[in-house]
Amino acid sequence: MGLITPYYCDGSVVTGAVHVALHAPLMSLIQFLKLWRTANYWLAAYLSIAAAAAAAPCTMLLDRLQSEVPVLRSVLGTILSALALWQTFNEIRRYVKTKNGSPSDDVPRDLDLSPKGPMKLKLGALAVGCASGAMNGLFSIGGPPNMIFVLLTNPDPLCWRSTSATMNVVVHVFTRLPVLLTGSLLNNIDLWAILVLNIGAVCGLVLGNWLSRYVSVAVFRASIDVFLVVSSFMMTPMYILIPLICAAALLLVVKLCWYKYKEHRNHGFPTTIVFTMLLRKWSNEADILKAVLGVLLFLNSPRHVAKVLRLFYRRRNFSALLQQGLQLAQWLDSSVRWALGAEGDTPKRDIELQSEKIGLSMDNRSLDRLESPDEAPSGASETDTIASPGGEISGLKE
């Protein structure tokens, strides 16, 4: 506040923090009286106890550490900026997963902090309350830890607003205000500045409560991201912030590349590369190509057969050869799944479905020859022929 309104303050971080601390009690009390019915009091209890325990000593230290507050502000701003960048990356990753068909995380959750609730959530609430109270005591800005907690737990927006108002009443009205009144921090305050701050806070509170009825969960989360990043960056020196942003951008690129690699690490690309090399080298060796294609597609899983076959079908007129390779791959995969007792369609039906995907026509005579192992005739020879549009090609081992 000392940096934003130097006309009312003396430019000191301590004086600005005191001015903010003296307008927060009224705003917190009005918000609590309006929304107290929807508060999660178990969550408010954990947050308030931890925040009050940290806010009282930090407010008393504010008077003794006036010369060290800028250093503390830089250190704390660096930590919060790192957390803000980390949370921004999590939001980007959540958005990418949602676009790829994963379930959305925008559904609000009920946070159970009763005695039967999860211990991990309780410890997290205590840690967030302690961090928020310490920041309130030193800088009168306790929002960033609370924002991170909201983004990680995704509570109901209305419930969180009332819960945070309950915590702010405990911290600002019953903890920080008595400490400020009994200390020597009120010597440099400007009463007119306090009056203007309170009037503006009440008007903004009324406007925010009216706008909250038209804000969705996604917009609520996005606004928290923006406020978290802006408030954290304002507390971080530029010589620390710029390398931090560069490191975060590099990490974001690496993480996104790794995520895409894991999404496509089913060996579809290696299969395509290997078969392309073999196709160029042995374009006239039909039997070798059939065997290689069948083995590669079997190892790669038949769900990627359509991608590989479409690629080479567009490049060369190998429809008959590729059709036979598909038959061999499907036969091997279906036989293995049948032998292991896995559920699924018959080999014949698998080939029909796969053929429909890639747009290849296969006659009934070809499909009837690929029956499951228990239906194979006892007098079948080791080698047989497979019908294709280009003629009979022998030498395929079943």
Domain co-membership, 156 together with 277: no
Which of 205-219, 310-324, 336-350 has the weakest average pLDDT?
336-350
Domain co-membership, 255 together with 273: no
Say if residue 1's pLDDT is above 50: no
Token couple for 294: 């069948």
Domain co-membership, 250 together with 280: no
Token couple for 264: 């496509």
Q: Which of 269, 387, 389 is nearest to 317 (CA)?
A: 389
Task: Estimate the crossing angle of helix 305-315 against helix 347-358, to 10 degrees.
Answer: 50
Residue 3 lies in a domain: no
The answer to whether 232 touches 80, Cβ cutoff 8 Å, is: yes
Token pair 């960048």 is at which residue?
A: 85
Q: How many domains does the chain have?
A: 2
What is the number of other CB atoms lying within 10 angstroms of the CB of residue 271?
20
3-class secondary-structure state, position 66: coil
Q: Which residues contact 27 (CB under 8 A, 6 or more apart)?
A: 168, 198, 201, 202, 205
Among 222, 238, 263, give the residue marking a domain's end.
263
Domain co-membership, 348 together with 333: yes
74 lies in which domain range? 13-263
The answer to whether 24 touches 140, Cβ cutoff 8 Å, is: yes
Domain co-membership, 257 together with 357: no
Domain co-membership, 256 together with 297: no
Residue 328 lies in a domain: yes
Q: What is the pLDDT of residue 87?
A: 74
User: Measured between alpha carbons, how far is 2 from 11 in angstroms, rounded to an integer?
Assistant: 4
Among 263, 289, 307, give the residue marking a domain's end.
263
Domain co-membership, 175 together with 206: yes
Mean pLDDT of 318-335: 56
What is the number of other CB atoms lying within 10 angstroms of the CB of residue 234?
15
Residue 8 lies in a domain: no
Residue 7 lies in a domain: no
- Amino acid type, 367: L
Global model pTM greater than 0.85: no
Residue 87 lies in a domain: yes
Token couple for 243: 């390398």
Residue 1 lies in a domain: no
Among 263, 280, 305, give the residue marking a domain's end.
263
Domain co-membership, 199 together with 279: no
Which range is most confident: 37-41, 102-106, 324-328, 361-365?
37-41
In this predicted model, what pLDDT tens digit does every residue of 300-319 receive, in sequence order?
545 555 555 555 555 555 55
Mean pLDDT of 189-214: 80
Which of 115-119, 264-268, 307-311 has the weakest average pLDDT?
264-268
In this predicted model, what pLDDT tens digit does every residue of 360-376 receive, in sequence order?
444 444 434 433 334 44
In this predicted model, what pLDDT tens digit does every residue of 43-76 receive, in sequence order?
888 988 998 888 888 878 776 766 666 677 777 7
User: Measured between alpha carbons, how far is 395 from 382 in angstroms, rounded to an integer?
Assistant: 9
User: Measured between alpha carbons, how far is 53 from 208 in angstroms, rounded to an integer?
Assistant: 29
Most distant CA atoms of the chain, gap in Å: 105
Q: What is the CA radius of gyration of the chain?
A: 33
The answer to whether 89 touches 248, Cβ cutoff 8 Å, is: yes
67: exposed, middle or buried (C-beta count within 10 Å: 0-12, 13-18, 19+)? exposed
Domain co-membership, 202 together with 282: no
Domain co-membership, 308 together with 369: yes
Residue 4 lies in a domain: no
Residue 2 lies in a domain: no
Mean pLDDT of the chain: 67
Domain co-membership, 145 together with 222: yes
CA torsion sign for 109, 113, 116, 122 is: positive
Domain co-membership, 294 together with 145: no
3-class secondary-structure state, position 395: strand
What is the number of other CB atoms lying within 10 angstroms of the CB of residue 278?
16
Say if residue 350's pLDDT is above 80: no
